[in-house]
Amino acid sequence: MDSSASSANESLEIPPVKYEYLDHTADVQLHAWGDTLDEAFEQCAIAMFNYMTDLERVEMTQVHHIEADGDDMESLLFHFLDELLFMFSAEPYIVAKKVKITEFDRQGFKIKATAYGEEFVIGKHTQGSEVKAITYSAMQIYERPRVDRPEIFVIIDI
């Protein structure tokens, strides 16, 4: 074997592994508030939609009704946002500019709401970050808040 072959073989050696994979969170926290808990829930929904696209470009030409229920307030908020996210994720991909809660049963943990918006169209609407899921991680609902207003904190997976 000549020296050039030896050099070539040497350059093909795989170096030892000197790296690792570290988990990285791809999340954003929504913080919403209102004069009432209903309004805080509505604002949280709008915050999610506005994160996905610029709501200034959305017209309110379609009306969609959603219902959600849960076992407690946190699961109700989770399912409420999840229903709205599903509305955006399934054809015809509706993005809401306004969400109005029409029924809010705090004892039975049920919500009925109306979403006003339109079909998401690339070109007309900007593409923000895709929201993959709602999470329970660090979810907080303050109905008797420290600053005289109901507040909500929700982390969404992007």
What is the tens place of the pLDDT at every residue in 62-96?
A: 999 999 999 999 999 999 999 999 999 999 999 99
- Nearest to residue 111, comparing CAs of 28, 32, 45, 30? 45
Q: Would you say 53 and 38 are in contact if contact means Cβ atoms under 8 Å apart?
A: no
Domain spans of the chain?
A: 30-157
DSSP conformation class of 57: G
Please state the rounded mean pLDDT for residues 11-21.
Answer: 76
Name the CATH superfamily for 30-157: Archease domain (3.55.10.10)
pLDDT at 145 over 80: no
Q: Which of 118, 119, 30 is nearest to 77 (CA)?
A: 30
* pLDDT at residue 147, as a whole number: 65
- Report pLDDT digits (tens) over 35-71: 999 999 999 999 999 999 999 999 999 999 999 999 9
Mean pLDDT (whole number) for 14-38: 81
Please indicate whether residue 149 or residue 80 has the higher confidence score (pLDDT): 80
pLDDT for residue 22 is more than 70: no
